[in-house]
Amino acid sequence: MPELERTKAIEDFLKVVYHLQQQSDRVRTSAVAEAMNITAPSAYDFIRRCQEAGLLDYRSHRGVRLTEEGERIALEVLRSHRLLELFLVRALGYAWDEVHDEADRLEHYISEKLEARIAAYLGHPTVDPHGDPIPAKDGTLPERQLVPLSDLPDGSLGEVSRLLDQSSESLQHLQSKGLIPGARVRILRREPLDRLTHLQVEDTPQVIGETTAHIILIKPLNDNFLTNTCYCFSQPDATIGQREGP
């Protein structure tokens, strides 16, 4: 099998396929092209090169799926990305809504040694500032059972654990309401007509709309939460949309 140079473009491509794979088993070429903002022939070119290098399994009409080796590389890049995000926030005082683009650039260039030093400095964390899981060195991801806030029944108590929309606008909105990872929330009541949820965030009452309620994943903290109505995010790394940061 020919060796493929691990360029930034190849790593970004594998990362995109990895993200799309969280939503469907095999990924259509058109979906890859769209997510990468490239033409279909360019996407085919990536697919062909990665297939030849054993990083990808392509079947015509059925789309692509990463091989074990392809997934290993995607997870390595994700590990660097998420460690960098946390490092920028904790050590350099970056805001959580400005680290994604910076990490996107740096993730391809840090050495293994620097990555190991960053991980040690941060105390070997398992989640990044947005609550995204950081793959361990061996490529495993921490398992968590998280539920969208929109699915929690009234009266439930939970902890904000992961945010699926990581655009600056959305993160700033969440922060203004105290909805950051680690915050305790209690669902008070809903107004179905206006699609509003009234909730207690730590000690402050807040109101959020339907869109926001969908993008906040919660770790339930009491049994008010019924498992049979649960839309559990038990797969290792569920993400929605491409803007979701790695």
How many residues would you count in the chain? 246
Least separation in angstroms between residue 140's CB and Zn ion is 18
Query: What is the full DSSP assignment across 2-56?
Result: ------HHHHHHHHHHHHHHTTSSSB-HHHHHHHHT--HHHHHHHHHHHHHTTSE
Least separation in angstroms between residue 126's CB and Zn ion is 13
Based on CB atoms, which residue is closest to Zn ion, 32 or 89? 89
Specify the 3-state DSSP secondary structure of 216: strand
Q: For binding to Zn ion (CB under 5 A), which residues are involved?
A: 85, 128, 130, 132, 245
Least separation in angstroms between residue 246's CB and Zn ion is 7
Least separation in angstroms between residue 30's CB and Zn ion is 26
Strand order in the sheet with 204-209: 147-148, 216-220, 157-163, 184-191, 196-201, 204-209
Based on CB atoms, which residue is closest to Zn ion, 71 or 244? 244
Based on CB atoms, which residue is closest to Zn ion, 71 or 165? 165
Based on CB atoms, which residue is closest to Zn ion, 166 or 197? 166
Least separation in angstroms between residue 216's CB and Zn ion is 15
Based on CB atoms, which residue is closest to Zn ion, 70 or 245? 245
Cα separations in angstroms, 197 against 109, 192, 232: 43, 8, 20
Give the separation between CA 190 and CA 197, rounded to whole angstroms.
5
